[in-house]
Chains A and B, each alone.
Chain A
Amino acid sequence: MPDKRTKTIRTATLARVEGEGAMRVRIEAGQVTEVALDIYEPPRFFEAFLRGRDFAEAVDITSRICGICPVAYQMSAVTAMESLCGVEVGGQLRALRRLLYCGEWIESHALHIFMLHAPDFLGYAGAVEMARDHPAIVADALKLKKAGNEVMRVVGGREVHPINLRVGGLHRVPRKAELATLVEGLERAREIALGAVTLTATLDFPDYEQDFEFVALAHPGEYPIDRGRVVSDHGLDIAPADYMTHFVESHVPWSHALHSQRTDGSTYVVGPLARFATSYDELTPLAREAAAGVGLRPPERNPFRSIVVRSVELVHAVDEALALIADYEEPDAPALEVIPRAGVGHGVSEAPRGLLYHRYEIDADGTILDAVIVPPTSQNQTAIEADLRGVVERSLDLPDAELSVRCEQTIRNYDPCISCATHFLKLDVQRV
């Protein structure tokens, strides 16, 4: 007779997703014997695609990797090229880029918190179903997202796949008056974001903690977004150029994506929990107050609470965007001149879902000879699988349907960048 505690939880792919996510968890006699998450990774194509192109083109080519975090790809690309060519973009040009990045964080975090992740906690199949019962929550989410959209449009040139970033700076700098039009929407967004912290903190969190190394960027005096050294809560502190000597990517048989690990084989995590753990003190006072108000302290090791940390980061991003606008002075020129030279450049920045590393080799004419892109989702994949194992082990008494939902929720803790729809994974439970 089959052991009732033996079963396989398997995902089928949703038809409308081009980037497939699939998952399989096997439980034998009450023991989790196999966890496999297969994520299709578009960036792999882009690396080959970039070879032979001009160094100034990487910013717009890599932007196409993701419709949710194009600015992250653009910023990692331009900073890699600029560092390679010995140029540092500072002052108001950098402030504008950081403002644009804040816009992306606002958009992306608002989408994930409210539309993709909250339905898991509140028991809905997706945002549309949730909107029928909680229209006010979804209407607020739309306002937040709109505030982010507007920043992207005014600073980046358009809401989706912005076109205003270039190696050396921007194509066009906005007038002070243009940025002033963003303030009202952002002030409203700040109130909604503060409400999101309170709301998400009241959700029901499964009891689970992880103990992985938290890896994020860090720079004195600022919350990590567009630059910094690569640090961790285990004492790592390296320049971006040394990234590849401390982290390795390897193939696993069950996934198209590369798995990233520390060179000693240990598992690490990037994203909101890592940034919160390593740069809590750099959050704006308002964001820190919001965190303290709901009893959130670093390090937070329950990945399900990442929805609260993401909300705190949302407060920070809105708050900082307002500060950048208040301090804005129109720069004299939209960009610095950047003359290519042969060499290797490294660019890192914090995509909303975690650290994004780019490495380029170019020749003296500026032609790209080689490109390596390590996206956050690939870096988190090992941790996601470990979480799945841990969560399933603690939830074996749940009915199959609930266990499947719990698995999906576990994966979404990481805001994996294959989230085209409300639910990218459909799970079937099969008893063996």
Chain B
Amino acid sequence: MAAAVGARRPPGVEVVEHEGEPITLIEACEGAPALWIVDAVRSGAQPGTLHRLDAAQQPLPAELFGVSTHRLGLADALELARALGRLPPQVIVYGIEANEFEPGSPLSPSVARSVERLADALVEELSAAVNAA
């Protein structure tokens, strides 16, 4: 995803591949006027289902982004950033419904198609945002 969007990103947009460690995530988004996050989610929907959430207005549903057992998740990181006044004014989170989380397992065809579809849509959305600014 990062590579697909990175190659076609509009000027002024930075693409960061991030492991999800909350502290560096809060740092990475500090000072940015807008933030788009893409992550894998598990909600029980069909693999490849795309979720679009506006995190600037309200917290992310934690159950959607809590795939780690041993650390703060994405939802916690964004809420910490919000509490500290470090959350960018615009935050859109895309979740791609994953098929499986086994280490080393490849993307399933339905998820791979959604990644492509989202990359295209995201490039358009970013371009529109850059033009509007």
Interfacial residues, chain A to chain B (CB-CB below 8 A): 15-19, 42, 64, 66-68, 111, 115, 127-129, 131-132, 135, 138-139, 142, 145-146, 149, 158-160, 417-422
Contacts and interface: CB of A to CB of B under 8 A. Distances in A.
B72 A421 contact: yes
Label chain B's interface by main secondary structure: loop
A68 B22 CA distance: 12
Given A128-B79, A131-B83, A135-B83, A149 B23 contact: yes
A67 B82 CA distance: 24
B24 A16 contact: no
A246 B40 CA distance: 45
A43 to B, nearest CB: 12
A158 B18 CA distance: 11
Given A418-B69, A420-B71, A128 B85 contact: no
A16 B66 contact: yes
A420 to B, nearest CB: 5
B7 interface: no
B122 interface: no
Given A160-B21, A421-B76, A16 B70 contact: no
Given A18-B67, A142-B23, A149-B23, 16 more contacts: A15-B62, A15-B63, A16-B73, A64-B103, A66-B70, A67-B69, A67-B71, A111-B72, A128-B80, A138-B80, A146-B23, A159-B19, A159-B24, A160-B21, A160-B71, A421-B66
Contact of A146 (B27, B71, B83): B27
A377 B20 CA distance: 25
Please list the 8 inter-chain residue pairs (A to B) with the smallest Cβ-Cβ separation, ordered nearest first.
A16-B66, A131-B83, A67-B70, A19-B69, A128-B79, A18-B69, A420-B69, A67-B71
Contacts of B103: 64
B26 interface: yes
A418 B70 CA distance: 6
A19 B71 CA distance: 12
Contacts of B27: 146
Q: Which of A127, A132, A419, A421 has the most CB of B within 10 A?
A: A421
Contacts of A142: 23, 26, 80, 84
B23 A16 contact: no
Q: Which of A142, A158, A418, A422 has the most CB of B within 10 A?
A: A142
A420 B73 contact: yes
Interface string B33-69: 0000000000000000000000000000011001111
Contacts of B63: 15-16
A381 B80 CA distance: 31
A419 B70 contact: yes
Given A132-B83, A138-B84, A159-B24, A420 B66 contact: yes
A17 B84 contact: no
Given A138-B83, A159-B19, A160-B19, A422 B69 contact: no
Nearest to A150: B24
Nearest to B67: A18
8 contacts: A68-B70, A131-B84, A135-B83, A138-B83, A160-B20, A418-B69, A421-B66, A422-B76
B24 A149 contact: yes
A92 to B, nearest CB: 28
A298 B77 CA distance: 36
B43 to A, nearest CB: 11
A10 B83 CA distance: 31
A139 B84 contact: yes
Q: Which of B23, B27, B70 has the most CB of A within 10 A?
A: B70
Contact of B21 (A132, A149, A421): A149
Given A138-B83, A149-B23, A17 B69 contact: yes
A89 to B, nearest CB: 27
B21 A128 contact: no
Contacts of A145: 23
Given A128-B79, A142-B23, A149-B23, A420 B68 contact: yes
A142 B72 CA distance: 13
A130 to B, nearest CB: 8
Contact of B72 (A115, A135, A146, A158): A115
Contact of B70 (A128, A158, A420): A420
A149 B27 CA distance: 12
A135 B84 CA distance: 6
A160 B67 CA distance: 15
A419 to B, nearest CB: 7
Contacts of A18: 67, 69
A64 B71 CA distance: 13
A128 to B, nearest CB: 4
Contacts of B70: 19, 66-68, 417-420
Contact of A131 (B23, B73, B80): B80
B91 to A, nearest CB: 15
A144 to B, nearest CB: 9
Nearest to B27: A146
A115 B84 CA distance: 14
A146 B103 CA distance: 27
